[in-house]
Copies of this chain bind each other. A is one copy, B any other.
Amino acid sequence: MKGGKEHSKGIGRLSIIGVGLIGGSLAKALKKADFVGEVIGFGRSEANLRRALDLGVIDRWTLDLNEAVAGADVIMLATPVAAADQLLPRISASLRDNTIVTDAGSVKGSVIDAAVSAFGGRISHFVPGHPIAGGENSGVGASCVDLFHQQKVILTPLPSTGTWALECVREMWETTGASVSEMDPDSHDRLLALTSHLPHALAFCLVNMLADQSNADECYELAASGFYDITRIASSDPVMWRDIFLGNQDAVLSRLAEYRESIGNLIRLIESGDADGLLAEFRKSNISRSLIQSRRST
């Protein structure tokens, strides 16, 4: 927080590794709030970084990772989660004494493993985080200044995470309008496997089942609005989701098995023609769904 020459508060230099929807939206929000002095973008695609520069999301960019993180006060890793394995060891040597490293990955266990392995004794500088925001559109072109406004951000500090680092990252996210809470990494991964990873898995399976039909064209034509909404997230970025499912393998598999049991229960009710049982299930769904809705509108 205190590393910036130009900023009495906030972040002097922020390096964003992976300037996509999340990294781009974060930069926009911090710039608007005048919470950051300079934003450096790093990525593999020059075209994407040029676009980010044109959009005013970043102040400069480089394809050289060490140059990107040199002199940074905060480094935000906003890539698909599996990239942490390669990237964190490579930046480890370039960190200044007070450089904070944080991330925005949807899985925390695998990223923390990568960080512990890369940073060793400097793990106190690492703050694992996850903004519960995003959408089926990816890339810096989809980034927007209020993506995190009134959204939740979960930080999953380790016992060894430094309080100063945690507070810096918390303040950074609060500046974007997000509500920040803390959770242990395991709880996060099990919970998100249910509330986010499972729904994505179900949407992917549903559209692919439709694609596999011999009369797929007719199916596309008649996909009702329910189908349309339920499969919106099947447009999400394939690499990001491959990494999430493999990074959170155990929890995702456990949720998928649990869901298959839930379908099995519905199948038994339909097979046995249990009208009362079905009605009870659907009434329960109505109530549960209203609770979700009321939590979101408060």
User: Could you list which residues of chain A lie within 8 angstroms of chain B, going by C-beta atoms?
Assistant: 132-135, 152, 154, 191-192, 194-196, 198-211, 213, 215-216, 218-236, 238-239, 241-242, 245-246, 249, 252-253, 256-260, 262-267, 270-271, 273, 275, 278-279, 281-293, 295-296
Q: Which 9 A-B pairs have the closest CB atoms?
A: A238-B282, A211-B288, A205-B262, A226-B233, A196-B224, A207-B288, A234-B285, A242-B278, A234-B289
User: Do A201 and B271 touch across chains, with their CB atoms under 8 A apart?
Assistant: no
Q: CA–CA, A284 to B241, complex, Å?
A: 13
Chain A, interface SS category: helix
User: Do A249 and B223 touch across chains, with their CB atoms under 8 A apart?
Assistant: no
User: Do A202 and B206 touch across chains, with their CB atoms under 8 A apart?
Assistant: yes
User: Do A199 and B220 touch across chains, with their CB atoms under 8 A apart?
Assistant: no
A222: which of B192, B219, B260, B275 is its contact (CB, 8 Å)? B192
User: Do B267 and A235 touch across chains, with their CB atoms under 8 A apart?
Assistant: no
Copy count, this protein chain: 2
User: Do B205 and A266 touch across chains, with their CB atoms under 8 A apart?
Assistant: yes
Q: CA–CA, A238 to B226, complex, Å?
A: 15
A191 proximity list for chain B (CB < 8 A): 215, 218-219, 222
Known: A206-B199, A208-B285, A256-B263. A229 touches B232 (CB 8 A): yes
A194 proximity list for chain B (CB < 8 A): 209-210, 213, 219
Known: A195-B210, A219-B195. A234 touches B288 (CB 8 A): yes
Closest to A243 in B: B275
User: Do B227 and A195 touch across chains, with their CB atoms under 8 A apart?
Assistant: yes
Q: CA–CA, A35 to B95, complex, Å?
A: 75
User: Do A233 and B235 touch across chains, with their CB atoms under 8 A apart?
Assistant: no
User: Do A256 and B267 touch across chains, with their CB atoms under 8 A apart?
Assistant: yes
Closest to A270 in B: B245
A222 CB to closest chain B CB (Å) equals: 5
A226 proximity list for chain B (CB < 8 A): 196, 199-200, 203, 232-233, 236
A198 proximity list for chain B (CB < 8 A): 206
Q: CA–CA, A146 to B60, complex, Å?
A: 50
A282 proximity list for chain B (CB < 8 A): 204, 236, 238, 241-242
